[in-house]
Chain A
Amino acid sequence: MLKIIKRPPLAEKKMFILRLLAVVFAIAASMVIIALLGHNPIKVMIEMVRGSIGSKYRISETINKMVPLLTLSLGVCVAYKMKFWNIGAEGQFYMGAYGAGVVAFNFGSLPSYLLLPAMFLGGILAGGLWALIPALLKAKWQTSETLVTLMLNYVAIRWITYLQYGPWRDPKAAGLPRMMHFPDAAALPEIGGMHIGWIIALVLVAFIYILIRYSKLGYEITVMGENPRTAEYAGMNTFRILLIAIMISGGICGIAGIIQATGLEHSISPVLSSGLGFTAIITAWLSKLQPVSLVSVSFLFAMMLQGGSYLQSVMKVPSDVAGVIQGVILFFVLGSEFFTQYKIVWDKRRDEESRRVDA
């Protein structure tokens, strides 16, 4: 008979090995799935790695995918630290892009050094205020933030679609329903062939790290997440802290939208995020809400995304394979958490007993 028993707390090193094993198992399991789909799993894996970091161009493509993912993950981290289940990163992303768009289309004549900061300001505000809706509803009427943030995603995406077909439609697009382009001054500067989004993302990593680790607000967020009753008892203004933290969370998700719009597309479309707002939930969890480990987790996921699209064009393997692998990794890593607390042992006593009964 197998029996589950609680195990003593694991040392850091063993924990790390356990997680590593989980990833190894996840890759093995993904390879089985790839084989079942009728592809050569080893070749697929090698091509994926080559497609994501095989050349300078591919690396920059991977980083371009990593930047919005990392930024979105940082955004949701702030909310998750407070156990506010913000799954509305997607919507906040689009509202961020929208806020930047409002500035770009109304003050397009400004020079770049004024326009871009103004766009960021507008985008952060829009993303933050969008996230404030579920926060206010929760603080006032205890609504479920999970549902409200999820639903607001669709509202935001439809809002962009409306703008694309309506007020912001590009008249020069010869009847195609496409949004106007941003003025040239609204393009994110480039360094060495890459837009500076990655610098912004790394600055945000440092910002969130310091915020959570050292600031009073970060301390308050942590206490509220661990135990809201204690926060109240300690005299914290929980209402204010909730609103500020969620504004930050939504604002950072908004920044991701601004980076994508100003760095890559120079416009906005309803597929601008490619669903990264949801992937960010996974990466935030896998990195245990640690901003620094988020960098590597986001890079790994960006590799899979980039590698996946490379597979599609080179090996005619659907890029969704990458999605399958992501899901399998999440499954294994979250599953491995169980083994950090419990172990399964063979219960000899019971065996003997049943043998006795048999005899």
Chain B
Amino acid sequence: MTERAAYIQMEGICKTFGVVQANDHINFSVEKGEIHALLGENGSGKSTLMNMLSGIYMPDSGSIIIGGKPCHFHSPKDAILSGIGMVHQHFKLVDILTAKENITAGMPGSFFIKNKGMTADIDKIAAKYGLQVQADRKIYNMSVGEKQTVEILKVLYRGADLLILDEPTAVLTPQETAALFNILRNMRREGCAIIIITHKLNEVLEISDRVTVLRKGQCIGTVNTAETNAKALTEMMVGRPISLEIQRPFVESGSEIKPMLDVQNLTIENQEKIKVINNVSFQVRSGEILGVAGIAGSGQKELCEGIVGLQKVSGKVIFKGEDLAGCTPGTIINKGISMSFIPEDRLGMGLVGGLDIVDNVLLKSYRRTKGLFVDRKQGEIMAQGIVKRFDISTPGIHHQVSKLSGGNIQKVLLGREVSLDPSVIITAYPTRGLDIGASYHIYDVLNEEKKKGVGILYIGEDLDVLMELCDRIMVIHQGEIMDILPAAEATKEQLGLLMLGHREEGAYHA
């Protein structure tokens, strides 16, 4: 690894957005035949830096040197011409076109499309790096892993020899991740340079040759992966030593196990009359965290919304001896089921971004007071309590929620739900986009509630977290339960296979 010249060098890169200094004199270099991990928490400036390398943004100052030659990109096209290609976290593919059409779209050429030549070219590249793609399949028929392969192929087809991958494993199963890593290793062997943006430490350690850590827009350092470990990297990333262990307190459940929420034969159809949740039965017990694992879009969202009355369901949702299926959200809230459901964009459902903390805190309890007017005094007291208990950093309780940071927004949401003294908490992706410290705070809060005897349904995406935090893990695949396993005994491979729909013989039956 010694005698390699830096292929791409970024020197003294600065970029500000308004008052935010997203990148502050960052130095960064990549060599050919190396996989370089760019590590940092949300908002540390990883994406900004890479967007400048791929021509989406222009740096305020600093220089980008490729093969010894300074370059100035004014558009992504300039970057592509210099051999730099980026695979974004959200795929930029046209669903109704085939893989081949997506790969070749936008390329210069004659008026008529030379089909044969293109197919040959694609096949050649695919064979070279070990990518498996059915070029004539439509994108909407593909799994997430396949779509990602198309994205990579698209970039390679355009002649990129530096590949930037933004959080490539966020939506993949362990098996798909392994396949991706094989592709990346092939590419490294062929002399490509690869940058992978991530915040998952185990992946950094597994695949990369070197790691550069960013924190709050500054470059903390670059280290050889072989010479570091998870603990040291976390410390670089967070700025202080931090424990990476998630607590799993054991709650005494007495002689008999009491279900808080008993879901029986729940079926949910979407607007196209397709069963997105199909005859699902499970129980959430008092004092336990039941984790839900599954690849994105397996019915997690519908399951949550169905239980709290936001979607039409058939079947039974029994809470304290009463069937809640078919009740309105208002009725269910009054019965003490608190759902803090956080969709992809956090302000999508649980909160109102344009309003202040007080108005958001009141969202579920304003109806409890009598009269025509909203009791904002009460709301102010509640908001103050939440801000204090959850250590929310805000200029005041009348600060607009959308102007808070992601972690603080999350705390407002969770704080409100917890302050309503619920018996059941349903939470989906509560730590998505949060930094490590904030995530651990959220786990602590959930554990505290668990100790109080609350039943928690936790929809997660990070298998490591699910395995450490939850008591049991329920795996769903295409709206059906594959199995419910005790978290302490489950292995990652086992969960991954179940997520993909491979059920073992003699296993769980609904």
Contacts and interface: CB of A to CB of B under 8 A. Distances in A.
**Interface SS majority for chain A:** helix
A230 B18 CA distance: 30
B43 to A, nearest CB: 16
B12 interface: no
Contacts of B332: 235
A214 B355 contact: no
Given A8-B18, A219-B359, A227-B348, 10 more contacts: A6-B17, A8-B19, A215-B372, A216-B366, A216-B374, A219-B366, A227-B347, A229-B348, A233-B308, A233-B310
A312 interface: no
Nearest to B348: A229
Contacts of A349: 61
B97 to A, nearest CB: 29
B330 interface: yes
Interface in A5-49: 6-9
A353 B64 CA distance: 14
Given A219-B374, A235-B329, A226 B354 contact: yes
A238 to B, nearest CB: 10
6 contacts: A6-B18, A7-B18, A217-B372, A227-B349, A233-B329, A234-B329
Contacts of A219: 359, 362, 366, 374
B363 A230 contact: yes
Contact of B353 (A215, A217, A227, A235): A227
Interface string B330-360: 1111100001010000011111111100010
Nearest to A6: B18
Contact of B364 (A217, A218, A235, A237): A235
B328 A237 contact: yes
B72 interface: yes
Contact residues on A (Cβ < 8 Å of other chain), bracket: 20 to 34
Contact of B352 (A6, A8, A218, A223): A223
B457 to A, nearest CB: 16
Contacts of B363: 223, 230, 234
Interface in B365-411: 366-367, 372-374, 376
Given A216-B366, A235-B333, A237-B330, A229 B349 contact: yes
Given A8-B19, A216-B374, A219-B359, A235 B349 contact: no
Contacts of B374: 214-216, 218-219
Contacts of A226: 352-355
A9 B403 CA distance: 11
A349 B14 CA distance: 13
Interface in A223-263: 223, 226-227, 229-230, 232-237
B373 A233 contact: no
Contacts of B349: 227, 229-230, 233
Contacts of A233: 308, 310, 329, 339, 341, 349-350
Interface string B222-240: 0000000000000000000
Contacts of A237: 328, 330
Contacts of B308: 233
Nearest to A214: B373
A-B pairs, top 8 by smallest CB distance, nearest first, are: A235-B330, A8-B19, A235-B329, A235-B333, A8-B18, A234-B363, A226-B352, A226-B354
Contacts of B350: 230, 233
B351 A230 contact: yes
B355 A223 contact: yes
A92 interface: no
Nearest to A357: B72
A267 interface: no
Interface string A192-215: 000000000000000000000011
A222 interface: yes
A239 to B, nearest CB: 10
Interface residues of B, number: 35
Nearest to A210: B373
Contacts of B19: 8
A63 to B, nearest CB: 31
Contact of A216 (B329, B354, B372): B372
B360 to A, nearest CB: 9
A207 B17 CA distance: 42
A214 B347 CA distance: 23
Contact of B72 (A7, A223, A227, A353): A353
Contacts of A214: 373-374, 376
B397 to A, nearest CB: 16
A236 B330 contact: yes
B245 to A, nearest CB: 34
A234 B310 contact: no
B427 to A, nearest CB: 13
Nearest to B362: A219
B322 to A, nearest CB: 17
Nearest to B351: A230
Contacts of B352: 222-223, 226-227, 230
Contacts of B351: 230
Nearest to A216: B374
Contacts of A9: 18
Given A227-B352, A232-B329, A353-B72, A216 B347 contact: no
B330 A222 contact: no
A235 B332 CA distance: 8
Nearest to A342: B18
A219 B367 CA distance: 11
B447 to A, nearest CB: 25
Nearest to B371: A216
Nearest to B305: A233
Contacts of A234: 329, 333, 363-364
Contact of B328 (A218, A222, A235): A235
Contacts of B359: 219, 222-223
Interface string A100-140: 00000000000000000000000000000000000000000
A229 B363 CA distance: 12
A216 B373 contact: yes
B200 to A, nearest CB: 30
B365 to A, nearest CB: 10
A226 B341 CA distance: 18
A51 B359 CA distance: 46
A108 to B, nearest CB: 36
A215 B355 contact: no
Contacts of B334: 235
A289 to B, nearest CB: 12
A230 B367 CA distance: 15
Given A216-B372, A223-B355, A232 B310 contact: yes
B373 A215 contact: yes
Contact of B355 (A6, A217, A222): A222
A230 B353 CA distance: 10
Interface in B1-23: 17-19
B343 to A, nearest CB: 9
